[in-house]
Amino acid sequence: MPTLFPPVASPVSPISDWVRLPAGSFQMGGLETDKFVSAVELPRHEVTFTRAFQMTPHPVTRAQWLHLMPAPIGQDENLAPDLPIVGISWDDAMDYCRRLSDATGVFHRLPSEAEWEYACRAGSSQVFASQNDISPADANYSYDERGHPVGPGRLLPIGHFPPNAWGLHDLLGNVCEWVADRWHASYHGAPSDGSAWFDDAPASDRRTLRGGAWDHLPRVLRCSWRDWAPASARWDNLGFRLVREDTAP
């Protein structure tokens, strides 16, 4: 079973709590029974992780970001410290990983797309993690499928919604999340070992996004939803979380 590591005070690292995700296999990609599945989520394929890894239980917060990095340009300095950091590019997120790795002596990185979906599904094969529907009580999103407002219409602090079965918060909703992979328009040729799909991608600055955000419809909060943005994009609904190698005995 996944393990939640309790917060440990650290004078160096702003990241103090991690969830250990077990080795295992899962079916990655869209379900045939999902009416919103698209070609970019197919073909559905098996991915196997031969080793456990650790992931932050929520997106990186403003407080965690500001521990190592300057505030994003133009962002209100009075925003709550427990909001996910947004307005940072893929390159900014990579820079954060490098600085954190240097500060701690432990390698930190963005999750691969496969690691992200494995964590999001948490052992389930449903459309929305553990179920085939989603409600405003489950995640932060603004509109129902008819376009009617149902959510708060703004970013919310971490931990506002219940965690998934593996103790991870906000993989669906609140902010979209950068992952390590370059964008590919389908899963044909995707790695089966859970690694980031990067080196053999067409020369492009497109990077993959997962998760859906506070200003989206439910269809974007499906486990298999994926899209892309330029690596330079700095959007108010786009953040990231971290992974590291498993260090548990």
CA distance 211 to 220: 7
Whether the Cβ atoms of residue 174 and residue 134 lie closer than 8 Å to each other: no
> How remote is the C-alpha of 152 from its chain's centroid?
21
| Mean pLDDT across 18-40 | 96
Mean pLDDT (the chain, rounded): 92
For residue 1, pLDDT over 60 is answered with no
- pLDDT, residue 249, reads 60
CA distance 46 to 68: 37
Domain spans of the chain? 1-249
- pLDDT, residue 202, reads 58
Q: Does domain 1-249 have CATH number 3.90.1580.10?
A: yes
pTM more than 0.85: yes
Q: What is the pLDDT of residues 136-162, one digit of tens each?
A: 999 999 999 999 999 999 999 999 999
